[in-house]
Every structure is written in structure tokens, then in C-alpha cells.
Chain A
Amino acid sequence: MIEVLLPGARATIQDAGRVRGLRDGVPTAGPADRVAHATANALVGNDPGAAAIEIVGLPFVCRATRPLLVAAAGRDVRLVVRDTVPGWTCAFVRAGDEVRVEGRSRYAYLAIAGGIDVPAALGSRSSYPQASLGPAALAAGARVRTLTVPAEVARAGATAAAPDYAAVPRVVVGPHEDRVDARAFLAASFVVDERSDRMGVRLRGEPLPTRGGELVTAGMAEGAVQVPGGGEPIVLLADHQTTGGYPVVATVIAADLPLVAQREPGEEIRFAPISLRDAVAELQRVRYRVFAVRDARSD
């Protein structure tokens, strides 16, 4: 168990997300940065989709009530236990130790060996407070139970590589490039708007012209770059609506969506095209890396 001392601006529990409510309009939720979340889990020996803590607005401070393995991941994140431990590194925490997650990451993840033990709602432990699904956001004083697993102490010190968060995110063009000019989108440069949240990253820039008005409402996928009538795109993240009526000029590939999610308001962003085949290869690379971290020999 851990006890939350300082939750940051907002700390929620997220596993890989919820698909059982999709046809009832329930967003998947899950982590905004799926690569950092999966890697933090892998570092402590968890399944990559285990429930971990997503933190917005560091620092986050908690106390361990028993010995634990923990790892933090994000764009710019570190742990302070007795010493400072860099992000993307597994650390051993003694009973009674205070664990502080610090840094400037927009979304930071704290994974705990065993994973967080909360009841599942519609098959998932992800928090979606808008519909009271899953666990409530963590407040100071909250006690979070973790599943007990044999402590693989030898994992402490194991590290994983972080993505290059400054890289240019890649997109598969479409499906509605007949309504929005994909070349204009790929040539453009945008600034991340501060109204961005877990539903989507809003971009400001030269408006992209759209043709044919709104779509007949259709299902929407994570990473979709929607272009509303005003011409300023929105990149959909974990809490996005299951359906939408704006044309989608391109879709950010899963491997690169964390680069978009972690951009700070005011930062510049542009996009590069990638083929469907290469997008799948990138997904494979990311997933293999996560499994390699989890399956690393810990003796």
C-alpha cells in the first residue's frame, strides 16, 4: 500500500483503458502517454497494461507502507526516494520511505510492482471521473492498495530508453483527405493551445480549409487529427469522444502519440507522413522494447 501525501494538480489511476463501453459512448480512458505508462509498468515487472498512477502537475509525493519496487516515466521526470533516481529507472523503496515524483512532464507515470488493486468497472481500472467510472482521482491522504508480488529486488536499477519527445510525430494520412488537404496540414506548423487536455491536444495555426461541411457522425480513433470548421486541428487522446462529426485529415501513429500528448502549451509542433506499413513496424518496435524491459533477466 502507499499513502498519497501530495497528489499534484491531478492524479488518477489508469490501466490500458476500457473497450467494453465503446458502443455505449464510453471513452476508453487509459494513459495519455501510453509508452511511458507501459514502460514504467515493465520496469517494475508488471504487465504493460497494469494499473498505475498518472500525474498531471508534479510534484507528487506518497509514502510506502511496505517495501516496494517503483518506477517513474514521462517526458521530464525523476524520483526522489533517499537519493534522486532518474526517470525510466526501477527503484527499491523501503517501508516508510517517502517517494517524490518531480519534473516538468505534462503527464508523468508512477508504476508500482504488482499494479494498483482497485475494482474494475466495465472491465477496466482506468479512472474516468466524468462518468464516475473507475476509481476517483487521488486526494491527499488517499490509500492505494497494490497487489502483493514477490519483490524482484534485483530489478532495482534497471533502466529503459525514453522516446525522443522532441521528435516530429508521424501520421498516416486520412481517412478524410478528400475534405481537408493533407499536404497543407503536413506543410503547416502549429502551436499547442492551453485548452488541451486528456480529450485532445488543440493546435493553433493558419486555419486549414475544409470542404463539404461536417461529416455524418462516425466513430473516432485515438490519434485522429480532427479539423473542425474553424480549421484548427485537434489531436484526439485517451478521453476522446467515441464518435465525432469533424473530418480527420490524418491519424498520429500509436508510437508517436506520446510526443503530441506531452507537448506543453505554447510549444511548436508539426507532423510528418509515414506509410501504413512503416507505422505498423514502429508499433512493433515500441511494443517489443516494452516487453524486452519487462522480460529482462532480473537475477
Chain B
Amino acid sequence: MPFGERAVLVTFAERVDAGANARARALADAWERRVGPAVPAYASTLLHYDPLALPAASALRLARRLASRARARTVVRPTIEIPVRYGGPDLADVARLSNASVDEIVALHAGREYRVYFLGFMPGFAYLGDLDPRIVAPRLPSPRTRVAVGSVAVAGAQTAVYPFASPGGWRLIGTTDVALFDPARERPALLAEGDRVRFVPA
């Protein structure tokens, strides 16, 4: 559906869903090859176009056609290990909410491989899922005005690392020294869509 006169939003599902996410990323790839920039998220893709080069009606038609063809591709992505010092300001609260010990939360968080659904919110911020459902971590009722760079956070079924200091409402359970975004690198973002990620207790 139109998102202003220069973009189309295609929604595959109204929930966080690995299958819909894979289709959203496949559509973004197809759009970038044919038209221009695209931004996939959990289960949707925002498609940018220039309506003076591609008429709006054609853009909508093409979006529909490419969306119906968008299929998850099996691409082997590297596993990236991120060393973490567990012990953020919310770790004890998360343990309490989850009816578990701090050590159990650490073991659960570090005990599985995550996938990057997409990047957003700030440069290099990767939305990783899915958390073990035994970790109970609702967002903070009121966000912190400042989350430190390198904070490892959980919220709902997601986990992430803050590449920069910023306000944030996720619960903080650790810290890493790894640079999630470094403008001096050829590809500044450490993580990319589809990457597999493991947190390793440091």
C-alpha cells in the first residue's frame, strides 16, 4: 500500500515471523535489483521509488508481483560470536521475572544461536531472535534516557546490542566491547540480515 508518493509498504504478516521476515528480505533484494532502495523489517518491506521515473500505479503493481514471488532463500551466513560480560543493571530483575537464577538466565541467553531479522533504530542495531521463552523480559515501563554503548539488551522475544549510547526501553543484562558500527570499516555494520549470532560469556 502507498506510503506517501515515493514509497510502498508491503506487509507479509502482522507479527514477528521468521518466514515472513525471509520473504520481506527477499523482496528487498528483488526491489533493489530492479528499482531502488528498500528496507525490510520483521515482516514487511518498505520500497522506495521515484514516481517521476516509475509511475505510482506501476510501482504498486510491480511491488505486488515481486511480493508474491518473494521466497526465502537458503544462504549460509557466518556465525558471529560476541563476547559479553553479563551483569547489566536489569539482569537480577530479568532473573526474578523469569523465576530463574542469574546464572540460569546467562546460560539461556548464551546457550542458543540467534538470527538477525533486520537492522534499524540506529546504525548497526540488529534485531536478534528468538529468545528462549523461559526468559521473561517485558520492556521497561519508562525508557532509560541513556543506555551505554555496547549494552546487551533483551525485550520480548528479542535481544540486541546498542551500537551507540541512546535512550532505550530494553532490559540490560550485559556489556560487550565489540564495535557494532565502525564508520572506518568498509562495511561499518558488524552484523547483517540473516547472520547467525552467539553470545559468549567473557
Do these two chains really belong together in a complex?
yes
In contact, B123 and A221 (Cβ under 8 angstroms): no
> Could you say which residues of chain B place their CB within 8 Å of the CB of A122?
188
Q: What is the interface residue range for chain A against chain B?
A: 35 or more
* Chain A 185-196 per-residue mask, 1 if CB under 8 angstroms from chain B, else 0: 000000000000
Task: Give Cα A253–Cα B4 distance, bound, in whole angstroms.
Answer: 6
Task: Give Cα A280–Cα B164 distance, bound, in whole angstroms.
Answer: 37
Which chain B residue lies CB-closest to A212? Answer: B14
Known: A19-B37, A216-B42, A218-B9. A224 touches B4 (CB 8 A): yes
* Chain A 17-28 per-residue mask, 1 if CB under 8 angstroms from chain B, else 0: 001011111110
In contact, A22 and B125 (Cβ under 8 angstroms): no
Contacting residues of chain A (249-295) with chain B, CB-CB under 8 angstroms: 251-254, 276-277, 279-280, 283-284, 287
Known: A131-B164, A251-B3. A25 touches B119 (CB 8 A): yes
Question: Is B7 an interface position by the 8 A CB rule?
Answer: yes
In contact, B41 and A219 (Cβ under 8 angstroms): yes
Question: Is A220 an interface position by the 8 A CB rule?
Answer: yes
Task: Give Cα A26–Cα B181 distance, bound, in whole angstroms.
Answer: 10
> Could you say which residues of chain B place their CB within 8 Å of the CB of A280?
5, 51-52, 55-56
Which residue in B9, B11, B40, B51 is a CB contact (below 8 Å) of A23?
A: B40
Which chain A residue lies CB-closest to B36? Answer: A19
> Could you say which residues of chain A place their CB within 8 Å of the CB of B3?
174-175, 221, 224, 248, 251
Which residue in A121, A221, A277 is a CB contact (below 8 Å) of B56?
A: A277
Known: A121-B183, A283-B52. A174 touches B2 (CB 8 A): yes
Which chain B residue lies CB-closest to A173? Answer: B2
Which residue in A21, A26, A279 is a CB contact (below 8 Å) of B5?
A: A279
Which chain A residue lies CB-closest to B126? Answer: A25
What's the dominant secondary structure at chain B's contact region?
A: loop
Known: A132-B183, A280-B51. A21 touches B123 (CB 8 A): yes
* Chain B 31-46 per-residue mask, 1 if CB under 8 angstroms from chain A, else 0: 0000011111111111
Task: Give Cα A220–Cα B6 distance, bound, in whole angstroms.
Answer: 12
Contacting residues of chain B (142-176) with chain A, CB-CB under 8 angstroms: 164
Which chain B residue lies CB-closest to A27? Answer: B123
> Could you say which residues of chain A place their CB within 8 Å of the CB of B28?
23
> Could you say which residues of chain A place their CB within 8 Å of the CB of B38?
22-23, 219
What distance in Å separates the Cβ of B202 from its nearest Cβ neighbour in chain A?
25
What distance in Å separates the Cβ of B197 from its nearest Cβ neighbour in chain A?
15
> How many B residues have CB within 8 A of the partner chain?
47
In contact, A220 and B46 (Cβ under 8 angstroms): yes
Which chain B residue lies CB-closest to A133? Answer: B183
In contact, B56 and A217 (Cβ under 8 angstroms): no
Task: Give Cα A276–Cα B3 distance, bound, in whole angstroms.
Answer: 10
What's the dominant secondary structure at chain A's contact region?
A: mixed
Question: Is A146 an interface position by the 8 A CB rule?
Answer: no
Task: Give Cα A242–Cα B120 distance, bound, in whole angstroms.
Answer: 6
What distance in Å separates the Cβ of B117 from its nearest Cβ neighbour in chain A?
9
Question: Is B48 an interface position by the 8 A CB rule?
Answer: yes
Contacting residues of chain B (164-202) with chain A, CB-CB under 8 angstroms: 164, 181, 183, 187-189, 192-193
In contact, A22 and B39 (Cβ under 8 angstroms): yes
> Could you say which residues of chain A place their CB within 8 Å of the CB of B41?
216-219, 243
* Residue among B7, B13, B43 having the largest count of chain A Cβ atoms under 10 Å: B7
Task: Give Cα A253–Cα B121 distance, bound, in whole angstroms.
Answer: 23
* Chain A 203-223 per-residue mask, 1 if CB under 8 angstroms from chain B, else 0: 000000000000011111101
> Could you say which residues of chain B place their CB within 8 Å of the CB of A12?
none
> Could you say which residues of chain A place their CB within 8 Å of the CB of B120?
25, 217, 219, 241-244
What distance in Å separates the Cβ of A94 from its nearest Cβ neighbour in chain B?
38
Task: Give Cα A83–Cα B76 distance, bound, in whole angstroms.
Answer: 65
> Could you say which residues of chain A place their CB within 8 Å of the CB of B56?
276-277, 280
Which chain A residue lies CB-closest to B9? Answer: A175
Question: Is B118 an interface position by the 8 A CB rule?
Answer: yes
Q: A25-B119, A219-B9, A241-B120 are in contact. List 15 more A-B contacts (CB 8 A).
A: A24-B187, A25-B189, A122-B188, A131-B122, A132-B183, A174-B1, A216-B42, A218-B41, A218-B42, A219-B38, A219-B44, A242-B39, A243-B39, A248-B3, A283-B51
Residues of B whose CB lies within 8 Å of any CB of A are: 1-7, 9, 11, 13-16, 28, 36-46, 48, 51-52, 55-56, 118-125, 127, 164, 181, 183, 187-189, 192-193
Residues of A whose CB lies within 8 Å of any CB of B are: 19, 21-27, 121-122, 130-133, 172, 174-175, 216-221, 223-224, 241-244, 248, 251-254, 276-277, 279-280, 283-284, 287
